[in-house]
Structure 1
Amino acid sequence: SSEYGMPFSTSVLITSIFGLFTVIDAQTTTACNVYNELEASTQCGSSGYALQFGFPNCINFSNKEGLFNAQGKAWLECVRSCLSNFVQTEIIAKNITDCATIKSLAFDSHVPCYVNCGFCNFKFLLFNAIPLALTLRISDLLTAEVIQQAITVIGTCLLHPRLILG
């Protein structure tokens, strides 16, 4: 029994579970807030890219960053920065306000960000596949955009073996 009156295994489990989640730092908050800024300037609502996909996934991946190894955490930071920079420079700065155009442009930015940040690397996938699977939202996996992204990422990785070998 631990000093808190719980069996030792229970207290270790609770500590382990809480250890998986990281506190979201200011840099992450800034990167994720680009989606709130996008929504404020476009008002696409709950079915728009910013509120339906961008912000929730940015926060979700940030909250579960503790599941990833060092290479996975570096990939998350790279992707978060890449995606938020794209939204800032290619959508907000260019005053694009059409919701369908925003969604299309934003989703089109995902594959290059994922691949350029090292998604195809064998060691990254080997040690981070389970954390990725645990972090993805099931509701997103059923969308045409995400299915198309997955096919494109896999195809890109297979067509460029040097990306796999890193």
Structure 2
Amino acid sequence: MSFFGVGNPFSTPVGQKIEQATDGSLPSENWALNMEICDIVNSSTDGPKDAIKAIRKRLTQSAGKNYTVVMYTLTVLETCVKNCGKSFHVLACNKEFISELVKLIGPKNDPPTVVQEKVLSLIQCWADAFQNQPDLQGVVQIYTELRTKGVEFPMTDLDAMAPIFTPQRVCICYGPSDKLGSIHNARSL
């Protein structure tokens, strides 16, 4: 039994937002909606699982049919990996999920080059970012297997890409006795 389960993944709050954000009739990515999706994922226990289910469903529904939807969905996925926490990373880097991404660019779906390069770039970037994290090795394993099979990954400047691990917010707060201010972790305020 797949960990993706059954049911309509678009019936959840995050699933509804993912469906809206990946609508093929949008003129471009809706970044406000993409960030709202991240907020939902980060603020609920079921958010990561519900988001991965909806992303997977959107990709499998659109593969070979509507590559605008596929690209918008890959952008939502990438945005979530960059802005969501460990519980989302564990699901997104799961070997089964990464295998689904690889199937998306297989010859059966005849994807355009831009989709192939996006998927391979995401796999390469995540494998690099998560190589030292034991519970995120699914993506590293798939990346290694693909390289062993001779798959060529697009030239990617991994140093120039936005970081996946965003630093904690810090704010300088001035209180009645603070002349220079004190630095606090924003989460503790």
Q: Where on the TM-score scale, by shorter chain, does this alignment land: which range?
A: 0.3 to 0.5
| Higher share in strand | 2
* RCO comparison, higher one (Cα < 8 Å, 6+): 1
| Higher share in helix | 1
Q: TM-score, normalised by structure 1?
A: 0.33
